Amino acid sequence: MSSDQHTLHIHQLSTFFFTTQGIVKAVRDVSLSLAAGQTLALVGESGCGKSMTALSVLRLVPQPGRIVTGQIYFGDVDLLQLSNEEMRRVRGNRIAMIFQDPMTALNPVFNIGSQLEEVLKLHLGLDRKAAQQKSVDLLHQVGIPSPAQRCHDYPHQLSGGMRQRVMIAMALACNPEVLIADEPTTALDVTIQAQIMALLDEQRQQRRMANLLISHDLGVVAQNADIVAIMYDGLIVEQAPVTTLFNAPRHPYTQGLLNCIPHLGQRHKSLSNMPQGSFWQNCSQDFAPRGAECAPLCTIGENHLVRMWE
């Protein structure tokens, strides 16, 4: 399969965990496509498989999990067919990831500058002097004041927003074609959230990156995504352009998520009391419980996919 029009194309990906208690199907039959300069948001509750999808793309699935089916095309290359050494050259270099918690992702015993320099020396082969200068430039690009001085600071000396900017700088160090941002605004106040998302969007436009944004924050998604994929129990249950999805959600789970957004003077409905639209009257009267077998995604409009439950 060629993916000339897409920087990243995930095709029928399934990642399972084989435990002593049984098989945990963390990611099930997931297909997503992401073009250069585009932001695709993967949305769902904690534990639905969002982060595991991202780790599968990078082939960083922890034991006892493993990818059991699917293809992950980066251009015309299936990442799942690369050797470990070839994958290491892709990971962090051409596909980068910002992890959820910058305090745990950054090493507390090394200063910021040395951690950035290590990335640059490892992936770009820069010498120490060039890596030091590039580190200062990267911190400046992500809006950190007095970047030369900040290179000497340790993670605990920075605010949460500043640590997140450092993580973004590290992710952008090798000018990646794909950036995966896993809950990049977690634990930040609303003002800092907006600044971080504006920074990511600015860098996406300047670098023509494809961004995979993983989030449970529908406000962040509405303002920053081009395409939204809703995930439930390891499955993509609905996918559509952001305006279509927010204005005309069709899957009961998507409707439930949107109804959880507070509205002044209006009580929101719960997942257990969802209205039945015409689509569901034609396809399925009830939203199936977790673990139910499911039908393929159906196209119900332009670029609008919804999974029907059997």
CA distance 169 to 105: 13
The reply to whether omega before 296 is within 30° of 0 (cis) is no
Residue 187 confidence (pLDDT): 74
Q: Taking every pair of C-alpha atoms in the chain, what is the biggest distance, in angstroms?
A: 66
Helix or strand run (H / E) with residue 105 = helix 102-105
CA distance 20 to 43: 29
Residues sharing a CB contact under 8 Å with residue 147, sequence separation 6 or more, in sequence order: 135, 136, 137, 139, 140
Contact 15, 64 (CB under 8 A): no
What class has domain 8-94+174-309?
alpha beta
Name the residue ranges covered by the structural domains of the chain: 8-94+174-309
Nearest partner of 53 among 36, 37, 39, 72, judged by Cα: 72
Whole-Å CA distances, 84 to 59, 79, 89: 9, 10, 9
Q: Which of 28-37, 106-115, 255-264 has the lowest mean pLDDT?
A: 255-264
CA distance 197 to 219: 11
Contact 250, 237 (CB under 8 A): no
Residue 3 confidence (pLDDT): 43
Check whether 282 has a pLDDT greater than 60.
Answer: no
CA distance 48 to 6: 25
CA distance 140 to 132: 13
Q: How confident is the model at residue 286 (pLDDT cuts 50, 70, 90)?
A: very low
φ, ψ of residue 97 to 5 degrees: the values are: -135, 135
Contact 170, 87 (CB under 8 A): no
Check whether 267 has a pLDDT greater than 70.
Answer: no
Residue 258 confidence (pLDDT): 92
Give the residues across from 71 on adjacent strands. Answer: 11
Residue 210 confidence (pLDDT): 96
- What's the rounded mean pLDDT across residues 210-231? 95
Q: What is the dihedral of CA 278, 223, 225, 264, to 10 degrees?
A: -30
Summarised one tens digit per residue, pLDDT across range 176-193 is 999 999 999 887 888 888
Contact 95, 73 (CB under 8 A): no
Whole-Å CA distances, 253 to 258, 270, 273: 9, 10, 11
CA distance 13 to 53: 8
Summarised one tens digit per residue, pLDDT across range 139-174 is 999 999 999 999 999 999 999 899 999 999 999 999
Give the residues across from 11 on adjacent strands. Answer: 71
Q: Which amino acid is at 24?
A: V
Check whether 252 has a pLDDT greater than 70.
Answer: yes
